Amino acid sequence: MEEPRPGLKADSERERAPDFDALPSPEEFVRGERTRDDFFDAVLSLDTPGTAKDVAELAGHGVDAAREYLDWFERMGIVTQITESPATYERNQEYLNWRRAQKLREDYDTAELLEFLKTESERVDALQTEFGVESPEQIVISRYAASSDQSIEKVWERLAAWKTARRRVSLLERALSIESGDGADLQSVA
Amino acid sequence: MTGEDENGSFPLSGAPVDFDRLDEIRERLGSDSRFSQITERPEFAPERLICVYDHRFYPKRVRDASLEVAWFENGDFSVHYHEDHVDGEFDHRWDRHPSAHNSRDHIHPGPDAPTPGDDTTHPVDWRDVLSMVISEIDGRQRGFWD
């Protein structure tokens, strides 16, 4: 990245430099502190099926520890086992969505969730009108960009926004379908 | 690596924002004293994180600096660093997403993050991408005080 241009630099007479050497290195804090963080981060990266060895490498720990965490995560639903021999695992997005819906139910009351749902549904409708098809799966980015005279990036961004809004709608609908006395007895639902 | 997949077409239609990864990123960056504030909108399922740098790293002529992080379920991302100066601004972007003029991995270097950017190869692991980005910004911040 570029150096700051000279005119922007600090006035060494009047301004005091921060103590950069006291900062923790980014390599440390982006990784979290616990072994569990390492393994959770590793399985969040599993967009395609990975073995215990792959997970161990991603997590920066041994294969035995990876197997233990994978067993535990599988019992919790965080990963799904995809193949038997060798055993491969994939991040279980379905579970992560379920967990988020539960959390939405805990954090917001019905009126708030309905308000979010209204906003997100409107966003989905607007994007559907913009693209002129029922679902984002029907759009091929490069083809749509060429035919609508837009950049690939622009279409990529709009399409991701559409998928995100649709995901939010389904999370909110799911949260609203969970029985609730608006925060009173959530624990009993799970 | 190019913007095209093995069938010669752009990966079909992108992916939604990875809310779970953004949650982890918010937790990690939020624990570091480089940032004074991290906001996400909307809060119930964030689209991107706005991580505001603490003022102490910048001379007075830089009014504000922040890092905007967007991550998607297929591993695409867009990380945007922005400085607001008394007399202008500075932008730098690290991207992984389809584009007609660049490979999937590319950067748009400052001063106004122009298109097209430069082809590059970012680390595979999302944590390595973030620490690379923050290290580069650390370097620029030190440059203000040389």
Percent of chain A with pLDDT over 70: 94
pLDDT digits (tens, 9 = 90+) for A105-136: 999 999 999 999 999 999 999 999 999 999 99
Q: How far is B37 from chain A (nearest CA, A)?
A: 16
Q: Do A164 and B144 touch (CB under 8 A)?
A: no
**What CATH architecture is A26-92?**
Orthogonal Bundle (1.10)
Q: How far is A71 from chain B (nearest CA, A)?
A: 20
pLDDT at A148: 92
Mean pLDDT for the stretch of residues A15-31: 89
| Residue of chain A whose alpha carbon sits nearest to that of B86 | A8
pLDDT at A100: 92
Instruction: Tell me how far CA of residue B27 lies from CA of A37, A64, A143, B96, B129, in angstroms.
Output: 11, 27, 38, 22, 16
Contact residues on chain A for B59, CB-CB shorter than 8 A? 8-11, 15
B19, B74, B110 ranked by CB distance to A2: nearest? B110
pLDDT digits (tens, 9 = 90+) for A148-185: 999 888 999 999 999 999 999 999 999 999 876 655 54
Q: Do A163 and B13 touch (CB under 8 A)?
A: yes
pLDDT at A6: 87
Contact residues on chain A for B7, CB-CB shorter than 8 A? none
pLDDT at B13: 67
pLDDT at B9: 42
pLDDT at B6: 41
B9, B10, B61 ranked by CB distance to A8: nearest? B61
B62, B73, B81 ranked by CB distance to A8: nearest? B62
CB neighbour burial string for B115-138, b if at least 16 within 10 angstroms, e if fewer: eebebeebeebbbebbbbbbebbb
pLDDT at B78: 93
Contact residues on chain A for B36, CB-CB shorter than 8 A? none
pLDDT at A179: 75
Contact residues on chain A for B9, CB-CB shorter than 8 A? 140, 142
Contact residues on chain A for B75, CB-CB shorter than 8 A? 45, 47
Q: Are A169 and A121 in contact (CB under 8 A)?
A: yes
Mean pLDDT for the stretch of residues B81-91: 94
pLDDT at A34: 84
Is B2 a residue whose pLDDT tops 70? no
pLDDT digits (tens, 9 = 90+) for B15-49: 899 999 999 999 999 989 999 999 987 878 888 99
Predicted ipTM?
0.84
Beta strands in chain B (DSSP E): 35-41, 48-53, 62-71, 77-85, 88-96, 105-108, 118-119
Residue A6 DSSP class? G
Percent of chain A with pLDDT over 90: 62
Mutate to test the interface with B, among A28, A29, A171 (most CBs of B within 10 A): A29
pLDDT at A189: 46
pLDDT at B146: 84
Token reading at A83: 């193949």
